[in-house]
Amino acid sequence: MQWIDSYASYYDGAAYKAWLISHTDYAICITGLYLAFVFYSPPYIAKYIYGGEVQRTGGKPAWLRYPWICWNFLLSIFSFYGASHVAPVLLGHIREEGLRNALCTLYPDEFYSGPIGMAVGLFTMSKLVEYGDSVFILLSGRRSLPVLQWFHHSTTFLYCWHAYAVGSTALNTGAALNYSVHTVMYFYFALAEMGLKSLVRPFAKYITMIQIAQMAVGLFLMCIVAHEKYMDYLVGRPESDPAACAGTPWDAIRVQMFIATANLVMFTQLFFKSYVHKKSQVDVTKTTK
């Protein structure tokens, strides 16, 4: 990954932050276009790509399968790059300064410059790239996406745009968690698309479990930050005080807590529907035979 880090000297996080602030409408318009594609494109895909099939029943076409494999591998490699940069720094701050200071203190030189700053900056824009997941799924012939899919992608993209623009230590924790989970998740998807689904299928529930853990840990950490900021408020400590928990503004905390809670609920529902209730139904079927 050193060849990527060689570009860090050209990265200007402050300029990127200013661009995000002055182009907030872009984020809203892009998300609007994404949602329009999600809700309105399936009939046109069925008509013009699959000759009017109401629901494609065969496997993925070869023209889509191989780009999809490459897509997942590239995102897994990129996520590994990000995790290897952001996670060790976050863990180092926790080990050396304690959890509170690691969550409450923003280091601008680290957040907006150098290899770490570039990894965090790329993380925010990778959420735009990940809209491509939905594009691939719909191009494969699916007539609709689960709410979890489009809600997770759109809210995460908007949140990351905002969090980087305002400067938030919450984004560091989110990047460390998300990069780590996506390294495994996209690698799993790539292997499944390569025809190894029967081999990797037993690990599917564990992928969902680590996604649930990501949301739960993120929510827990934001509760800690919210508690610390509330305690600052009670004692009248201004954010300019070095002892204050000023690394994450209240709006970023509220948004991340909402997104983490909503995703935690939906991922948990997915887990129970896919692995707990389904297993119970299979067991009942076996006992009635």
CA distances from residue 72 to 133, 192, 262 in whole angstroms, order as listed:
9, 10, 25
Token pair 């029967």 is found at 198
152 is an active site residue: yes
Q: Where are the alpha helices (DSSP H) in 140-238?
A: 147-166, 169-191, 197-200, 204-235
What lies within 8 Å, CB to CB, of 209 at 6+ separation is 271
pLDDT at 240: 80
Q: What was the pLDDT predicted at 164? A: 96
Residue 194: predicted pLDDT = 92
List the one residue out of 152, 155, 79, 154 whose CA is nearest residue 122. Answer: 79
pTM: 0.91
Residue 282, pLDDT score: 45
Three-state SS for 64?
Answer: helix
SS3 call for 30 = helix
**Residues of the chain where predicted confidence (pLDDT) is lower than 70:** 1, 53-59, 278-289
Residue recorded with tokens 């780009």: 67
Helices (H) then strands (E): counts for the chain? 15, 0
Catalytic residue among 85, 93, 152, 162: 152
Contact indicator for 124, 27 with CB cutoff of 8 Å: no
Tokens 């990351």 — which residue? 160
User: CB within 8 A of 1, min separation 6: which ones?
Assistant: 81, 84, 85
Residues 48, 282: Cα–Cα separation, whole Å: 39
What is the predicted pLDDT for the residue at 94? 95
Closest CA to 266 of 156, 145, 152, 148: 148
Q: How far apart are CA 288 and CA 204, in angstroms?
A: 28
CA atoms within 13 A on the CB side of 54: 0
- Would you call 276 helix, strand, or coil by DSSP? helix
- Give the pLDDT of residue 62: 82
Q: Is 140 helix (H, G, I), strand (E, B) or coil?
A: coil
For residue 24 the two structure tokens come to 């907030």
User: Closest Cα to residue 118, out of 81, 155, 170?
Assistant: 81
